Chain A
Amino acid sequence: MSAETTTPANDAVSAYDVDHPAPVIEPPRARTRKTPKATRTNFEMYGWLFMRLSGIVLVVLVLGHLLIQLVLDGGVSKIGFAFVAGRWASPFWQAWDLIMLWLATLHGANGLRTVINDYAERDNTRLWLKALLYTAAGFTIVLGTLVIFTFDPNIR
């Protein structure tokens, strides 16, 4: 730093003294009376962590699902009611599909929440898009869970 740049700053400091104190500038992130207390949680951090943990599990569950349904034993040709009945006769595949359903829906819903927050600039647009998203995700989880638990191979 040269003397030329420090001199004006010294002048500015000298403009204030005990009788003329510098104005207090509040730090931009300080909590004020308007700061909502209830929303100050680590929700976004847990969301970030959930995306990574569920992602690792979903890599196994979803790629396994694709391998069984679309790649092995003739690909899509074999799929039908009888094939589904055969797989859901086993609690192992029921649990597989149930965990996959829950994790995939929550992972996808949180991903779309991020996308909505990024692109929908108006408060009302964000509110309604997220309301629609949460409704769709809740519906998907409830319907899918009911289907897995109430499946009846002898429906006919």
Chain B
Amino acid sequence: MPAGTLYRGREGMWSWVAHRVTGVLIFFFLFVHVLDTSLVRVSPEAYDDVVATYKNPIVNLMEYGLVAAILFHALNGLRVIAVDFWSKGPKYQRQMLWSVVGIWVVLMAGAFYPILQHTLRELFGS
């Protein structure tokens, strides 16, 4: 195991890993999402059938995961832009990552009920 550096095994590396993993996941979802939306050109029934899948409790939970991935990718992407274009960006990259994580936690907590309310009502009644 090589000795640690400013980058290896630190915030910079792990945010890069997370950015990459979430990016690939989002791209695959985008492909599927355009396919399912294109069913509006087949018939209203075909579209409503596939959207019913999105209302399944497990898929609903996956939507919460999708929002988590997109929200991290968006916030960390803004951090990457700040590192590249803001003169003090590289100096504060670590603080900016923890700000990203903090904002992400708050927004994800706030989005928990609105996104999962469909499932919560279905499982525990209204």
Contact = CB atoms under 8 A, between A and B. Distances in A.
A104 B47 contact: no
Chain B interface secondary structure, helix, strand, loop or mixed? helix
Given A75-B116, A108-B23, A143-B34, A66 B60 contact: no
B5 interface: no
Contact of B47 (A66, A72, A80, A108): A80
Contacts of B85: 52
B44 A155 contact: yes
A115 B27 CA distance: 12
Chain A interface secondary structure, helix, strand, loop or mixed? helix
Contacts of B55: 76-77
Contacts of A99: none
Contact of B30 (A56, A59, A140): A140
Contacts of B67: 66, 70
B66 to A, nearest CB: 8
Contacts of B80: 52
B52 to A, nearest CB: 9
B27 A81 contact: no
A151 B114 contact: no
A140 B31 contact: yes
Interface of A: 52, 55-56, 58-59, 62-63, 66, 70-72, 74-77, 79-82, 84, 101, 104-105, 108-109, 111-112, 115, 136, 140, 143-144, 146-147, 150-152, 155-156
